[in-house]
Structure 1
Amino acid sequence: MYLSIKGLAKSFADNEVLKDVNVDVQKGEVLSIIGPSGSGKTTLLRCFNGLERPDRGIFTFSDGLTLNFEKKIDKRELIQFSRKAGMVFQAYHLFPHKTVLENVMEGPVFVQKRNKAEVKKEAEILLEKVGLKDKLNVYPHQLSGGQQQRVGIARALALKPELMLFDEPTSALDPETIGEVLTVMKDLAKENWTMIIVTHEIQFAADVSDKVLFMDGGYIVEQGKPEEVLKSPKEERTKRFLQRILHPSN
């Protein structure tokens, strides 16, 4: 077990977005989260690395770190928690005035205070890994959306996280560039990265996931192996959602 979450809840004012969510993540597992808009998927993902602080819930990591969000949590433990995950956003969030290489180096050098020369070498290797070896010195506006998202993946990997989080990483892309991002993610899955992916790419989720969660109304309605949840769902809400996604004209 890498991470166990029990009783996770999160509200924004009177809107209860997550309601008693329980989920376990194994080391090296690819977990895909699907569901309609407004079901709580992105909020759940942001709770995994502290971008949103849960109202309650207990996070237990395999290294012994335990956070109970109903109690006061030591600042050092919150920092330790936030550094466990690297995040890839929908909208890239690259620094427009920095080159591709500088974007990837930013976090390790200025946040983690690591050696600049060492980070530069690692960043170059990561950019080659995502197919952007020839783009080190260009700026984000000179890249396609798919290329910018691949920079975002390299930037998250540069922080050497234990867990990679992806929030609808292809939703802002043109159809022709979606494949190049999904290919990089498939390669990471083959390398046994622990990954949690919010996605609407159902076939991709079927191909790479070890486990799929279907969320609706702030709850995990159904979870299991891809062939169970995506091919033979038990819950009526899951069936209706997949019908709308896979057969929109019916």
Structure 2
Amino acid sequence: MYLSIKGLSKSFGELEVLKDIEVNVEKGKVLTIMGPSGSGKTTLLRCLNALEEPSGGVFTFEDGFSLDFDKKVSKQDWLRLRRKSGMVFQSYNLFPHKTALENVTEGPIIVQKREKKQVQEMAERLLAKVGLRDKMHLYPHQLSGGQQQRVGIARALAIEPELMLFDEPTSALDPELIGEVLGVIKELANEGWTMVIVTHEVQFAEQVSDEVLFMDGGYIIEQGPPKQVLKEPKEKRTQQFLQRILNP
């Protein structure tokens, strides 16, 4: 197991967004999180990347690193948590004044202080990997949404994370561009990356996931293999959600 999450909670003032979340992230597997808007999916993902501070609960990693959010967490531990994962956002979040290549090299050179020449070579390899070898010197405004998102994936991979996090990576894309991004994520899954993906793409989730969580109201309502959760859901709330998505 890569990560064990126990009793995770998150509140914004009076509003409790995550309630007693317990889940294991298996090494080399794909965990997909689904559920309606406001169910807590993105907040859960942001807690994994230290973009949100959990209100309570414990993270325990396979290397023995553990964080107890019922106690004060040191700045060093926050940084250590953040360095474990690469995040791909739904709205790309690229630097508009930097080329695709510069967007990918920024983190490793500026934050991780890695050697510029090696980072440059690695970034070129990663952009080739996501099908953008010929676009590396273009700026975000010169790229389609799908191409920008693929730069975002290359950028997340460049920091050499243990865990890849995807927050609805296709929700901002036109329908004809969705396939090119999902294709890259599928390739990463086949390579054995440990991934947590928030998505509404049911067919994709079925193809790529090892486990699916369905969330609603800050709780995990149902979890299990994709065939069970997406094809034969036990819970009425899961059934209603899937029916609405598949038969809009």
TM norm. shorter chain > 0.5? yes
User: In 1, distance between residues paired with 2:233 and 2:137?
Assistant: 47
Segments of structure 2 that go 5 or more residues without pairing to the other structure are none
Partner of 2:234: 234
User: In 2, distance between residues paired with 1:8 and 1:218?
Assistant: 10
2:232 equivalent to 1:244: no
User: In 1, distance between residues paired with 2:73 and 2:170?
Assistant: 35
Partner of 1:208: 208
User: In 2, distance between residues paired with 1:137 and 1:49?
Assistant: 29
Partner of 1:133: 133
| Matched residue SS, 2:183 | helix
Aligned residues: 248
TM-score normalised to structure 2 length: 0.99
| Matched residue SS, 1:141 | helix
User: In 2, distance between residues paired with 1:192 and 1:98?
Assistant: 31
User: Residues 180-230 of structure 1: CA distance to partner in whole angstroms, max 9, x if unpaired?
Assistant: 000000000000000000000000000000000000000000000000100
User: Residues 65-103 of structure 1: CA distance to partner in whole angstroms, max 9, x if unpaired?
Assistant: 000001112222221111000000000010011011000
RMSD, matched Cα: 0.5
| Matched residue SS, 2:91 | coil
Moved over 3 A (4+): none
User: In 1, distance between residues paired with 2:226 and 2:100?
Assistant: 35
Q: How does 1:132-151 map to 2 (within 5 A)?
A: 132-151=132-151
User: Residues 31-67 of structure 1: CA distance to partner in whole angstroms, max 9, x if unpaired?
Assistant: 0000000000000000011000100010000000000
Q: How does 1:157-172 map to 2 (within 5 A)?
A: 157-172=157-172
Partner of 2:15: 15
User: In 1, distance between residues paired with 2:202 and 2:234?
Assistant: 17
Partner of 2:190: 190
AA partner of residue 133 (structure 2): K
AA partner of residue 235 (structure 2): E
Give the Å deviation of 1:247: 1.4
Partner of 2:28: 28
Partner of 2:70: 70
The percentage of aligned residue pairs carrying the same residue is 71
2:57 equivalent to 1:80: no
User: Residues 127-179 of structure 1: CA distance to partner in whole angstroms, max 9, x if unpaired?
Assistant: 00000000111100000000000000000000000000000000000111100
Partner of 1:53: 53
